[in-house]
Amino acid sequence: MGFFHTSFFYRPVTRKPLQHQMQEETSSNTLTRHFVLDSPPFVLETSPSAPVLLCHRSGIIPISQKVKFLNNTTMELKGKTVLVTGGTAGIGLEATKQFLANGARVIITGRNQAKLDAVKKSYPSITAIQSDVADADDAKSLFDQVKALGGIDILYNNAGVMSGPLNLGVANEKHFEVAKYEMDINYLGVIRLNNLFMEMLKSRKEAAIINTTSLLSYVPLNLAPTYSASKAAMRFYTAALRDHLEILNSKVKVFELSPPVVATSMTESLENNAITPEKLVNALIAGIKKNQFTIRVGLSKVVYMLSRLAPKFAYAQVNPAGNTKLLR
């Protein structure tokens, strides 16, 4: 085969600095090099003569090496129960279809009862619960109802809102109103639900939280500044949540879905190169199945890299000159 297969074992992520860890691994005089990239431990399968390129969390991919995830803990969706917030439209509705197709049970939420009824009519096996993620009483009631149904294994925090163009340079009371509305749903609502469901998820054999960020968490869209800020906050929160659960040796996995522009009602008014919700959710499901904890899809990958290498250029790409007209 040309490659030596050495021991495949799961080694928990160490808390040591990566530099230290790399030195230790390379001096061990074995053909196995294992290290941390984003989160799952990797094993490099390598021939004795091939150069080994070790890489850092930020993601230089080794060349001419076969890299394998240690997949022994990858998630089986069949038989799981998934709670999809905002499951009545767009990405959440598509996720509902695909989780069902993968053999999962699905509970959806949304604020609008008529939309919930319509989805229930199309997918009779789902449970549809009216609940606003920004409302504390609704969230508690949702938790109680879900618990009575037997609980969940996966909490998919999908519900989100984006408000229209705002020019923060022109004083307007709307700035605060919009920022609060977006933060209450996109950020604080997620923290509230994760907190409510945390111990339930920890008690399951396999469990996951999926948080939704955006390519706008790397570079703000000047037409949606407070929305972008809510997604940047969600990205930082998600990284910390994952770290904290790892420190506790918890089995609860934390995925971040970072979509590009997706063709849903949220993006109708934007000029964009939107992908379909189907394509996005295909990537989400594939990511979950291979323990890819940060799932950047399509242009989100590009904007992520550009934002690190050439931030001003990235800003200009996300905010073309035409946006200026809408901000005057």
Ligand X SMILES: NC(=O)c1ccc[n+]([C@@H]2O[C@H](COP(=O)([O-])OP(=O)(O)OC[C@H]3O[C@@H](n4cnc5c(N)ncnc54)[C@H](OP(=O)(O)O)[C@@H]3O)[C@@H](O)[C@H]2O)c1
Q: Which residues here bind ligand X, judged by CB under 6 A?
A: 85-86, 88-92, 109-112, 115, 132-134, 158-161, 185-186, 212, 214, 259, 261-262, 264-267
3-state secondary structure 152-180: CCEEEECCCCCCCCCCCCCCCCHHHHHHH
Least CB distance to ligand X at residue 103 (A):
23
Least CB distance to ligand X at residue 261 (A):
4
Cα angle 51-53-58, degrees, rounded to a multiple of 5 = 170
Residue with tokens 């799961």: 10
For residues 170 and 175, what is the distance between their CA atoms, to the nearest angstrom?
A: 9
Exposed (0-12), middle (13-18) or buried (19+): which is 109, by Cβ within 10 Å?
A: buried
CA distances from 142 to 87, 125, 132, 253, 309 (A): 14, 18, 9, 22, 43
Please answer whether residues 186 and 230 qualify as being in contact, where contact means their C-beta atoms are separated by less than 8 angstroms: yes
Nearer to ligand X, 40 or 90 (CB): 90
Nearer to ligand X, 54 or 126 (CB): 126
Nearer to ligand X, 68 or 111 (CB): 111
Least CB distance to ligand X at residue 92 (A):
5
Least CB distance to ligand X at residue 138 (A):
8
Nearer to ligand X, 222 or 264 (CB): 264
Least CB distance to ligand X at residue 104 (A):
18
For residues 167 and 31, what is the distance between their CA atoms, to the nearest angstrom?
A: 57
* Helix H or strand E segment including 68: strand 66-69
R_g of the chain, CA atoms, integer Å:
21
Q: Which residues pair with 44 in a beta bridge?
A: 33, 67
Please answer whether residues 43 and 34 qualify as being in contact, where contact means their C-beta atoms are separated by less than 8 angstroms: yes
Least CB distance to ligand X at residue 129 (A):
10
Nearer to ligand X, 193 or 252 (CB): 193
Nearer to ligand X, 207 or 224 (CB): 224
